[in-house]
C-alpha cells in the first residue's frame, strides 16, 4: 500500500472511475493518504462522485507518471470518523479552505480489497500490490 500511495502522490493527479447506473464516470482526484494502516482518498458528500460511491462502492483509479502507469481496482469504504477526516485535512491543508473535519461535507474513503498494478512502457514486468 505504501508504494501505491507514493505513486499516487508522485503523479499528483489521478483519475477515479465510478458507475452512475450503467454510465461510467471519471474524475480527477489528488488526495492519497495512509491513516491507521489504510489508504484513503477524500471528497465532498455533496458531490455526485460521493453519491455514486454510496450506491456502488466498486471503483477504479488510474494514474500516470514518467514511463509508468498504475491501475487500482478497489472497494471504497466510507469512514465517518472525525479523526480520519482531520488526518486527511492535516495532510492536505489546502483543502481546509473548503472542508473541515466533522462539517458534514468532508468525506474520507479507504480502499478495501484493493489490487494496484504498476505497468511500464519501457520495462517488461509489472508490479502488483494487494491490500
Segment 27-49, tens digit of pLDDT = 999 999 999 999 999 999 999 99
* pLDDT score recorded for residue 123: 84
pLDDT score recorded for residue 125: 73
Question: What's the pLDDT score for residue 54?
Answer: 98
CATH superfamily, domain 2-130, is: Electron Transport, Fmn-binding Protein; Chain A (2.30.110.10)
Strands (E), 45-105: 58-65, 68-79
C-alpha radius of gyration, the chain, whole number: 14
Q: Which residues in the chain show pLDDT less than 50?
A: none
Nearest to 25 by CA among 64, 63, 51: 51
Amino acid at each position: 500500500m505504501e508504494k501505491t500511495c507514493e505513486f499516487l502522490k508522485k503523479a499528483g493527479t489521478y483519475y477515479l472511475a465510478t458507475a452512475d447506473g450503467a454510465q461510467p464516470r471519471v474524475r480527477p482526484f489528488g488526495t492519497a493518504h495512509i491513516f491507521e494502516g489504510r489508504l484513503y482518498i477524500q471528497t465532498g458528500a455533496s458531490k455526485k462522485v460521493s453519491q455514486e460511491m454510496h450506491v456502488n462502492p466498486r471503483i477504479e483509479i488510474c494514474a500516470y507518471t514518467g514511463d509508468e502507469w498504475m491501475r487500482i481496482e478497489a472497494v471504497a469504504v466510507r469512514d465517518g470518523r472525525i479523526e480520519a477526516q482531520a488526518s486527511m485535512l492535516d495532510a492536505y491543508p489546502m483543502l481546509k479552505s473548503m472542508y473541515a473535519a466533522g462539517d458534514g461535507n468532508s468525506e474520507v474513503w479507504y480502499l478495501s480489497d484493493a489490487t494496484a498494478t504498476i505497468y511500464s512502457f519501457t520495462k517488461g514486468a509489472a508490479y502488483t500490490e494487494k491490500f
